[in-house]
Amino acid sequence: MQQQFLKRWIIMLCLLLIACLIPALLNVEWQKALLYFNFSAFFIAFIFWAIIFLAEKQTPQKKMGYILGGIGIKFILTIVAVVAYFIVFKEKSTPEILITFIINSLYYFTGYYFLYKLSKI
C-alpha cells in the first residue's frame, strides 16, 4: 500500500512539473524565472521524495529522523535556490517573487499532503 502511494506521489510531482511548464512556454517575458523555479522546486521535491522513500524501509525511530532531516534539507535547498537565482540574475521584480512563492508553495503543499497521507496508512 505504501509503495503504491509513493508511486502516486512521484506521478503527481511529474504532472505538476508538466503543468508548470505550460505557462513558461506561453509567457516569454517570465520564461527564465518560471523554468528555473519549476525545475529547482521539482528537483528539491524529488530529493524529499527519495528521502521519504528510504525512510519507509526504516524502524519508526529512524523513520522520524529521516522525515525531519528531509524537511530540513528541503527548506535549506529552497532557500539556496531562491537566493542563487536573485544573486545570479540580479532581477528582483514583483512578478518573479510571486512566481517563486507560487511554484514553491505548490510543491511544498503537494509534498506535505502526501507525507501526511502516508503517515495515516
Could you report the per-residue pLDDT of 33-42, keeping only the tens digit for each?
Answer: 889 999 999 9
For residue 71, the tally of other CB atoms under 10 A from its CB is 16
pLDDT value at 80 more than 90: yes
Q: Which domain holds residue 86?
A: 2-120
Q: How many domains does the chain have?
A: 1
Specify the range with the lowest mean pLDDT, choosing from 8-22, 53-67, 80-94, 98-112.
80-94
The whole-number pLDDT of residue 32 equals: 87
The whole-number pLDDT of residue 105 equals: 93
Q: Dump pLDDT digits (tens) for 8-30.
A: 999 999 999 999 889 888 888 88
The rounded distance, in Å, linking the Cα atoms of 29 and 101 is 18
pLDDT value at 76 more than 90: yes
What is the pLDDT of the chain when averaged over all its residues?
Answer: 90
What global pTM score does this model have? 0.90
DSSP assignments along the chain, one per residue: -HHHHHHHHHHHHHHHHHHHHHHHHH-STTHHHHHHHHHHHHHHHHHHHHHHHHHTTS-HHHHHHHHHHHHHHHHHHHHHHHHHHHHHH----HHHHHHHHHHHHHHHHHHHHHHHHHHH-
